[in-house]
Amino acid sequence: MRILRFLRSSLAVGKDIDYYSKFSPSPLSMKQFLDFGSENACERTSFAFLRQELPVRLANIMKEINLLPDNLLRTPSVRLVQSWYMQSFQEILEFKDKNADDEKVTYDFTDAVIKIRNRHNDVIPTMAQGVVEYKETYGTDPVVSQNVQYFLDRFYMSRISIRMLLNQHTLLFGGKVKVNPAHPKQIGSIDPHCRVTEVIRDAYENARGLCDRYYMNSPELVLEEFNVKEKDNPIGVVYVPSHLYHMVFELFKNAMRATMELYGDAMEYPAIHTQVALGTEDLTVKVSDRGGGVPLRKIDRLFTYTYSTAPRPSIDGSRAAPLAGYGYGLPISRLYARYFQGDLKLYSLEGYGTDAVIYIRALSTESIERLPVYNKSVWKHYKTFHEADDWCVPSKEPKDMTTFRSF
């Protein structure tokens, strides 16, 4: 009987996933997040929106997970991630028909949202472990690698968006204290007047602490800001400080490691130059180092999941945390930049250094969520056979013109 009930339950959940995956997620702008939190912060309204939107976002990405290779889906880590998503999906659906005006219902929903957020804390390393398990057992081929890269970009972007919704709800309605004493001006996780240089300095100091512990020294920071809108005033934008911190912290770690390893035991190291510019459309942050740069052919690899130029760190925690080795720093940072329609790009001068540039939309109305959607185009991407390149591939060996056949 238990097996029968389980099969019936699984079948019902499968139908619910099919149903909700037919809807496209509803992207929100930074201004919508801000307006709701500051002017119309109503727990019932948030509850009504999330109980509809969360199942849609979860179902869209859950359908896409099933398009991965069967052997990858069978790895223990990926199965664990799937079970987390399935459980969270079911818990949200329990509130589908409940009364939004009942205070106990909204309280229970907020409690459920907090549990879901905590359950998904380790999604990134767990999914990463699943990919490692698959590669170690079955190896890789170009088609599978391309599909996994495509999927992970979309999967982690979906996770960022879901976590954004969960964080906004829990920070606004999940505690007895409605104003965060550490960040009293923030609306949930959003700062309406995010001081960009303060976040950059904070990220630099923490990255520097890591660098000092690992290399016994660190390069200095030279920070400049150019405010075209309001000259002589510090730059402030509507943004999520934790997202900006994550990006610049990763860039500083990379810049410091490259600099320290190039100059070895030198007494002085070239500084890391960081420039912040606010224009009419973009906020741009450029982090420049003199760590020797990387060849052009390796630039794209740096955004490939599990690719790292550093040895994979041990997980026993016996040593100080290294500055690199996991391989997810840059690709995840680029997703944070792209989440609100920005970007992160690398420009390298091999033999000299690297410029890493973060682009962020200056206007909150233009900062709109970038969300993956499950549809026929996605299905075709995974199922279509990737044909040979339609550009010639140059041979590494020079052609012997004496054997060249004329027509």
What angle do helix axes 142-173 and 376-383 make, rounded to 10 degrees? Answer: 140
Among 63, 147, 254, 369, the active-site one is 254
d(CA 373, CA 58): 11
For the question of residue 246 being annotated catalytic, the response is yes
Both tokens of 302, joined, read: 């740096």
Residue type (1 letter), 82? Q
Active site residue 227: no
- Cα(278)–Cα(237) distance, rounded to whole angstroms? 9
Q: Of all residues in the chain, what percent are helix, strand and coil, respectively (each to 5)?
A: 50, 15, 35
CA distances from 358 to 30, 179, 295, 347 (A): 18, 30, 20, 11
User: Of the listed 169, 243, 253, 286, which one is catalytic?
Assistant: 253
The answer to whether 196 touches 236, Cβ cutoff 8 Å, is: yes
- The CA distance from 141 to 137, in Å, is 13
DSSP state of 301: G
Q: How far apart are CA 145 and CA 68, in angstroms?
A: 11
Whether 167 sits among the annotated catalytic residues: the reply is: no
**Catalytic hit among 169, 246, 273, 286:** 246
Catalytic residue selected from 53, 64, 250, 369: 250
What's the one-letter identity of residue 275?
Q
DSSP assignment of 8-55, as one string? HHHHHHHHHHHHHTTSPP---BHHHHHHHHHT---HHHHHHHHHHHHH
| Residues shown for the chain | 407
- What tokens appear for 236 in the block? 């402030």
* 53 vs 164: CA distance, rounded Å: 12
60 as an active site residue: the answer is no
Q: Is 375 exposed, middle or buried (0-12, 13-18, 19+ CB in 10 A)?
A: middle
- Show which residues are catalytic: 246, 250, 253-254
